[in-house]
Structure 1
């Protein structure tokens, strides 16, 4: 019990911060949950070969609850583009399922590398003064309307995040207002988390290296501890988002991604375990 108390407090604190960030930035909270879980699992002595798989799978499971809470709060403020959800939703869903299957086939350190590189690129994009950079005047249709959401779903599932990391950046470059991009991304998180969680559960069943309390690559203890905190705090983050300017939101998003990317790249290079 003495060893579990720090773990419980760490996971609960991660849920609080993740919930605030989920509501504020529409990112589902996984951008915080994955690195925290990776560290917590390392302390508990979980095999490094599957540690990121468990962190990502567990993160996706918690995002189901976070996205429900966050998207409802944004929808109440009219910030969810329902028409875009209908157009992109099926491709995001299928992409997420395929991404979770692909993630189960690669080494844990590879997932950390993917997480770090992509997070760093998006952080740079969001932190630069590119508020007026709009290469697309509207959300593309045709091939672009299929490939973009499919990639968002697939990469998000591999990283254990709710899709806001990609959706917010993509939608702002497609001339969508930042608050609407954040609100819509929150709903996309639900379409990523459900199939992604199912994929990580199925692909992890029977792995003898799994720690206690796991269902496939989803740690049920982590879900129980983190989910209530994220659901409780997400509406507060959503309300805060609508009090900030577009530039403030972009900078906050970029700073968080930069911090997380450095942590994951150090893990990938072997400088930290």
Structure 2
């Protein structure tokens, strides 16, 4: 789908943790923190594949990385201040926004960035990192449009965005580990639950090449519409039943 796995991982972990009887006070925190930790190996796998094709613009990645990491840490801190119910509402709202964008098929105009746009790297990176750290995603839904707006082709933007997901995931996961000290379970570090991280990351990395192959053989536009409708349902459920 060309999107970060966090959109699927967080709702999935919320359901599984609920079924396992986790403390409801920190259900969302553990799901989001674990999602960011899961994104670390998946981002490495993805960026390496794009790097081998020479598609990653590393100067842009390094330019955005400080803001992305600072923002992800800020997002983790913000999440630690919110209740699990509020985090569910925020994540559900984000799903609705992503679904709306996917259904509208509105794309940014390539090359429409103003002069001096490199000065935007720190504030834009911080904004993307904050939202990503707050809801447990790799940031691709925001990074790709920004890079296309800067003049990159869509494939180049997707490849560079994949690399940008790594600093977000590392900083965000570390933030949730620190903010959740003493509040997690016996098998967690802070708000990062390791059994879920290991299991989901292993199968995500193994399944990613299959997804890449299917993207070239299935009607992606139709799949995106179906996936967007799924996001709408999940988002509304999180908001209405949080």
For Structure 1 versus Structure 2, the TM-score category normalised by the shorter chain is 0.7 to 0.9
In the alignment, which residue of structure 2 is the partner of 1:225? 199
Q: Which runs of 5+ in 1 are unaligned?
A: 1-23
| C-alpha spacing 1:130/1:73, structure 2 compared with 1 (3 Å) | same
1:137 and 2:108 are equivalent in the alignment: no
Cα offsets for 1:56-110 (capped at 9, x unmatched)? 0111111111000011111122221212112111111111111111111101121
Inter-partner Cα distance in structure 1 for 2:19 and 2:40:
26
Q: Cα distance, 1:214 vs. partner?
A: 1.6
Residue 215 of structure 1: which of 189, 194, 201 is its match? 189
| C-alpha spacing 1:186/1:102, structure 2 compared with 1 (3 Å) | same
SS at match of 1:266: helix
Residue 98 of structure 1: which of 74, 97, 101 is its match? 74
Q: Cα distance, 1:234 vs. partner?
A: 2.3
1:260 and 2:234 are equivalent in the alignment: no
Q: Cα distance, 1:111 vs. partner?
A: 1.4
| C-alpha spacing 1:223/1:106, structure 2 compared with 1 (3 Å) | same
SS at match of 1:230: helix
| C-alpha spacing 1:54/1:40, structure 2 compared with 1 (3 Å) | same
1:60-139 superposed matches below 5 A: 60-131=36-107, 133-134=108-109, 137-138=112-113
TM-score (normalised: structure 2): 0.88
In the alignment, which residue of structure 1 is the partner of 2:21? 45
| C-alpha spacing 1:127/1:85, structure 2 compared with 1 (3 Å) | same
TM-score (normalised: structure 1): 0.79
Inter-partner Cα distance in structure 2 for 1:91 and 1:34:
23
Inter-partner Cα distance in structure 1 for 2:225 and 2:74:
27
Q: Cα distance, 1:47 vs. partner?
A: 2.2
1:206 and 2:182 are equivalent in the alignment: yes
Inter-partner Cα distance in structure 2 for 1:135 and 1:235:
28
Is 2:111–2:152's contact at 8 Å kept on the other side of the alignment?
no
Residue 133 of structure 2: which of 145, 157, 169 is its match? 157
| C-alpha spacing 1:142/1:182, structure 2 compared with 1 (3 Å) | closer
Q: Cα distance, 1:50 vs. partner?
A: 0.8
Is 1:48–1:108's contact at 8 Å kept on the other side of the alignment?
yes
SS at match of 1:25: coil
| C-alpha spacing 1:238/1:182, structure 2 compared with 1 (3 Å) | farther
Q: Which runs of 5+ in 2 are unaligned?
A: none
Aligned residues: 241
Inter-partner Cα distance in structure 1 for 2:150 and 2:103:
17
| C-alpha spacing 1:182/1:205, structure 2 compared with 1 (3 Å) | same
